[in-house]
Amino acid sequence: MNILVTGGAGFIGSNFIRYLLDLSDEYFIINLDKLTYSGNLENLKDVKKGFSERYKFLKGDICDREKVRDIIKNYQIEAIINFAAETHVDRSIKEGSKLFIRTNILGTETLLSEGLSGNIRLYIQISTDEVYGSLGEEGIFTEKSVLSPTNPYSASKASADLLALSYFRTFGFPVIIVRSCNNFGPYRFPEKLIPLLITNAIEDKYLPIYGEGRNVREWIFVEDFCRAVYMVMNKSKLGEVYNISTGFQKRNIEVAELILKKFNKGKDLIRFVEDRKGHDWRYSMDFSKIKNEIGWNPGIDFERGLDDTIRWYSENSRWVKNVKSGEYLKYYEKYYGL
Ligand X SMILES: NC(=O)c1ccc[n+]([C@@H]2O[C@H](COP(=O)([O-])OP(=O)(O)OC[C@H]3O[C@@H](n4cnc5c(N)ncnc54)[C@H](O)[C@@H]3O)[C@@H](O)[C@H]2O)c1
Asked if 153 is an active-site residue, the reply is yes
Q: DSSP for 208-256?
A: EEETTS--EEEEEEHHHHHHHHHHHHHHPPTT-EEEE--S-EEEHHHHH
Crossing angle of helices 252-262 and 193-202, in 10° steps, is 30
Helix (H) or strand (E) holding 127: strand 122-128
Rounded to 5°, the CA angle 157-57-222 comes to 50
6 forms part of the interface with ligand X (CB under 6 A): yes
242 has catalytic annotation: no
Q: Which stretch binds ligand X (CB under 6 A): 6-14, 44-52, 89-97, 264-272?
A: 6-14
Q: Judge whether 129 counts as a catalytic residue.
A: yes
7 binds ligand X (CB under 6 A): yes
Judged by CB under 6 A, the residue of 71, 85, 155, 306 near ligand X is: 85
C-alpha count within 13 angstroms, C-beta hemisphere, residue 81: 23
Minimum Å gap between C-beta 153 and ligand X is 8
Which secondary structure element, helix H or strand E, spans residue 29, and what is its range?
Answer: strand 28-33
**Marked catalytic residue, from 27, 55, 123, 153:** 153
Shortest separation between residue 19's beta carbon and ligand X, angstroms? 13
**CA proximity to 20, closest of 1, 35, 40, 43:** 1
Beta carbon nearer to ligand X, 32 or 271: 32
Element (H, E) at 159: helix 152-171
97 lies in the site for ligand X, by CB under 6 A: no
Q: Out of 3, 12, 226, 270, which residue is the one contacting ligand X (CB under 6 A)?
A: 12
Identify any residues that bridge with 103 across adjacent strands, giving them in sequence order: none
Which position among 61, 114, 130, 240 bears the catalytic label? 130
Do the beta carbons of residue 306 and residue 259 sit within 8 Å? yes
- Amino acid of residue 303: E
By C-beta, is 157 or 289 nearer to ligand X? 157
Residue 206's contacts (CB-CB under 8 Å, 6 or more residues apart) are 200, 269, 270, 271
Which member of 51, 72, 87, 89 binds ligand X (CB under 6 A)? 87
Site string for ligand X, 145-184 (x = CB under 6 A): ------------x----------------------x-xx-
**Nearer of residues 28 and 83 to ligand X, judged by Cβ:** 83
**Part in contact with ligand X (CB under 6 A); list of ranges 4-12, 134-142, 232-240, 283-291:** 4-12
Q: Is 38 in the site for ligand X (CB under 6 A)?
A: yes
Contact status, residue 251 vs residue 214, Cβ threshold 8 Å: yes
305 binds ligand X (CB under 6 A): no
Interface with ligand X includes 36 (CB under 6 A)? Answer: yes
Within 8 A by CB and 6+ apart from 70, the residues are none
Residue whose CB is nearest to ligand X in the complex, by number? 10
* Choice among 114, 129, 161, 257 that is catalytic: 129
- Site membership for ligand X, residue 61 (CB under 6 A): yes
Q: Which residues is 180 bridged to in the sheet?
A: 128, 244
Instruction: List residues near ligand X by CB under 6 A.
Output: 6-7, 9-13, 32-36, 38-39, 61-63, 83-87, 103, 107, 126, 128, 157, 180, 182-183, 189
Residues assigned a catalytic role:
129-130, 153
